[in-house]
Structures are given as C-alpha cells and as structure tokens.
Amino acid sequence: MPRFAELGVIASMQPYHAIDDGRWAERVIGAERAHTTYAFRSLLDAGATLAFGSDWFVAPPDVAQGLYAATTRRTLDGGHAEGWIPEQRIALVEALAAYTRNGAFASFEEDLKGSLAPGRLADLVLFERDLRTLDPTALADARVALTIVGGRIVHDGR
C-alpha cells in the first residue's frame, strides 16, 4: 500500500462494491486477500489518494449509497453489523473528498472542479439534510434535494 503513495498512483475505487462483495468475497478469495480488498483506511493511512466513483451500470450511481458503504462497510445482507473488515472504514469527510476533490485530481481537473471556488464549475448536489449530522448508518437513506450542473439546476426535488 505504501507504493501507491510513493509512486503517486491514485486508487480509483467504488465503495459500494465493499458492501456488495463483502457478502461472499472472503469465502471465494480467502481471508488474507479479503483484508486487502477495498482497503480504504490502509490506503489513506499510507498516504495514497482515493478517488471514488459508482461503477454504474454494475453498481448504483447513488453517491449516498457509496458514502454509506465507505463509512459503515455494512454488507447488503446485514451479515456484518460492525462492517465487513471494519478497520477499513473511513470518515465521512474522507469519503466526500474521495468523491469530489480527489476525483477531480484523478482526472487532472482539480483547477476546474472538485471544490467550490470562484471560476470553477458549479457542479454540486445539495442533500435534504446535513450529512455531517447523520449517523453513518443513515447515510444510505439521504436524498438529494437539488442538483446543479454548470451553474444550472437540473434536478429540484425540494
């Protein structure tokens, strides 16, 4: 894992797969390999950059599901109440950075998007509630109230 940071390799990952694959991965690839699968915390602790996405069509494009997966690692079957390989959970602020700032960095567009600043693209979603106030187990149910792309409202669910 330290080589990711040493070489500047960006770990492009899809957190949803941890809660999906976590239902069966250990049985198929063994415990040793499973512990280095979707190793969000280990990669961050080693100084690597995580860039998150959805892997849609394969996984749902719902970022709330991804945030839930990264912060809880609770598998879809309910079999891992403390999270599948819970030591790999990350904080919400780290997951949000992976979806935004780090995603822009991974596409060499960090001066164009990934954070809100004058002159940057105004692409953002506004959730119905402040995600920082939610218990991580409630993140999967967070709903998008507003979506803005290029400064234009493209979804208004308020």
Question: 106 near 51, Cβ under 8 Å?
Answer: yes
**Residue 27, Cβ density class (10 Å: 0-12 exposed, 13-18 middle, ≥19 buried):** exposed
Q: What is the DSSP letter of 114?
A: S
Q: Is 32 helix (H, G, I), strand (E, B) or coil?
A: helix
Q: Give the span between the Cα atoms of 157 and 49, in whole angstroms.
A: 33
Q: How does pLDDT run across 46-84, given as a tens digit for each residue?
A: 999 999 999 888 899 999 999 999 999 999 999 899 999
Q: How does pLDDT run across 111-149, given as a tens digit for each residue?
A: 999 998 999 998 899 999 999 999 999 999 999 999 999
| Domain ranges (residues) in the chain | 2-112
Q: Give the span between the Cα atoms of 25 and 102, in whole angstroms.
A: 27
Q: Give the span between the Cα atoms of 126 and 57, in whole angstroms.
A: 23
pLDDT, residue 151, reads 85
Question: Domain 2-112 - what CATH class?
Answer: alpha beta
User: pTM (2 decimals)?
Assistant: 0.93
Question: 13 near 40, Cβ under 8 Å?
Answer: yes
Q: Give the span between the Cα atoms of 118 and 12, in whole angstroms.
A: 27
